[in-house]
Chains A and B, each alone.
Chain A
């Protein structure tokens, strides 16, 4: 019976490891976030001179990971990178052990020297100064991992991992990507283990696991308890997981574009501290605090527990599925005062709030859109493009009063769309299949540009007043509700759009 209780407690503890790595009872948040980075960024990087790991296990694991996360590996090097980086992102939580290996798990997560690997306070990081110390430690950890990765970029290393039925298995991986995976883990944890400003850009408070699991925990001194309330790993919604993904992407981009300084610059920007948030002011009234308190990590057998709750009841309570906290965010749009804004609709809200020009570069993360490089427009103008994003990862773009151009590019990374199709409510246009022409051209989806024709909008949008020029011939055009669907290889898959302003319309 004691072993059963121990197992229950173990499961409860696992549930509390925000963000989680994948097991039979926890979703692989770190892996999912990291796998999406592969699809978005890494897949199209060029690699040369990388010697593949030896042996068969890494290939088998790569099969499992590519299928689990719907990844496309075009060659063995990318397969090896997938395995290495995903094992790396799991490693800080497992240290080669099964998460159900009770004796090991406790030591791993309570190692005082290892808290910065999870963006948490160390045992001596007390009071307001503790925030700064923990942030510095996390940054130093990330710096260390980056330099380890770069120093051994073309080396191979053997790591152990626990597999079902086999127990501990040794696998050879690429050392550079493995250490980058470890770094990504810490960076992602910086969103589930830290209270942040509503736009997630700055840190208000660093949470505590190691003291929170002890019986001498004192919130005023040790900081807010580590909590599963911040680990809602929903890439479709607006929350820490979204922000963690954007930060991870910027981190990789900083590293590959500018080297370690670039990575550190990104880390520094996401670990920037806004002081003055403490228990006295409810951590600057951070809206995650109630959720964090509701599911804070507690020592399950300690005296600091509330009352004499039987262990099994407590375990059952902790095992229940958490309700996703409803989050509302605010962002500064067009230099105006912060206004409540749903991150998933930021493009639309920005357009509505200030007529924001959407020109620039945006992340489309499943159903969420986020600016990468979007200059705040000096003047408010009409929205140029409205985007509809489907939950399946397909991207639908509805053109209204705009020249529309979807380029499958993320910086210099090509997206390689599989197919592009367009549909509209005017299917009788001669020479056009379905509303307006759209096709894969090279590595991009091209619609209404080059090739067949060019969209021209004449003033206010009505069917009669729009036309399409094809080979110099004016054709009626009524694709007001036309939809462009870009199918990409893996779904859900983030896209980056290049959106152009509408050319001045004229007949």
Chain B
């Protein structure tokens, strides 16, 4: 997979992202958590649908719906949980010839899985900050790569809050109609 990605990236050109609608698919993942006083392991992964509209100049509006799966590693055997459904909307900023994008999306985070302390359905907050998403044009597609983004998935805010800080790597493909 990294090899394939490298080939695509090397053969692609920096892309112009013209004004207009866009939509795409993304996959994200993270293995380690850097949060103090927490497990070093923080395996999270998932997929998302991202879309929006880019205006003339630097600015645009983006939205995202994602499924964020979690690997549980404490107390008993490791298992993948359905995690949270996250929704976000917010501004996108393009610069360096439109092949660098930054975005800040905010929205609800909905707990999908029962945890030790909470039942599914709890709704909290989702914030994801992408400082630099790289984009390359491959015909009418854009291949995107964000080496590091910060996402705060917090589907439970009452009682004992569930606030999961994730440092993610994200790849995607975008269609410009």
Contacts and interface: CB of A to CB of B under 8 A. Distances in A.
Interface in A5-29: 6-7, 10, 22-25, 27-28
Contacts of A22: 75-77
A370 interface: no
Which of under 10, 10 to 19, 20 to 34, or 35 or more describes the interface residues of B?
A: 20 to 34
Interface in B61-113: 70-79
Nearest to B156: A166
B26 interface: no
A64 interface: yes
Given A22-B76, A165-B162, A7 B116 contact: no
A24 B71 contact: yes
Given A100-B39, A100-B40, A101-B39, A165 B115 contact: yes
Contacts of A293: none
Given A24-B77, A163-B75, A64 B116 contact: yes
B121 to A, nearest CB: 16
A7 B32 contact: yes
Contact of B38 (A10, A60, A162): A162
Given A24-B71, A24-B72, A163-B74, A101 B162 contact: no
Interface centre among B39, B41, B71 (most CB of A within 10 A): B39
A57 interface: yes
A195 B23 CA distance: 65
B3 interface: no
B16 interface: no
Interface string B30-53: 011001011111000000000000
A61 B115 CA distance: 10
A473 interface: no
Contacts of B164: 165
B166 to A, nearest CB: 11
A104 B77 CA distance: 21
Given A7-B32, A163-B116, A64 B162 contact: no
**Interface class of chain B by DSSP:** loop
Contact of B40 (A6, A23, A24, A164): A6
B117 interface: yes
Interface residues of A, number: 32
B116 A61 contact: yes
Contacts of A97: 37
Interface string A19-46: 0001111011000000000000000000
B159 interface: yes
Nearest to B38: A167
A299 to B, nearest CB: 20
A50 interface: no
B160 interface: yes
B147 to A, nearest CB: 15
A28 B77 CA distance: 9
Given A100-B73, A165-B164, A60 B35 contact: no
Interface string B119-152: 0000000000000000000000000000000000
Interface string A224-252: 00000000000000000000000000000
Contact of B74 (A3, A7, A98): A98
A100 B43 CA distance: 12
Nearest to A11: B41
A60 B116 contact: yes
A162 B39 contact: yes
11 contacts: A6-B40, A24-B73, A28-B75, A56-B117, A56-B159, A60-B117, A98-B38, A100-B74, A102-B40, A162-B39, A164-B116
Given A4-B31, A98-B39, A100-B41, 17 more contacts: A7-B41, A22-B75, A24-B71, A24-B73, A24-B76, A56-B117, A56-B159, A99-B39, A163-B116, A164-B39, A164-B72, A164-B74, A165-B70, A166-B161, A167-B35, A168-B37, A169-B117
8 smallest beta-carbon distances between A and B, as pairs: A24-B78, A24-B73, A100-B39, A98-B39, A164-B72, A164-B74, A100-B41, A167-B38
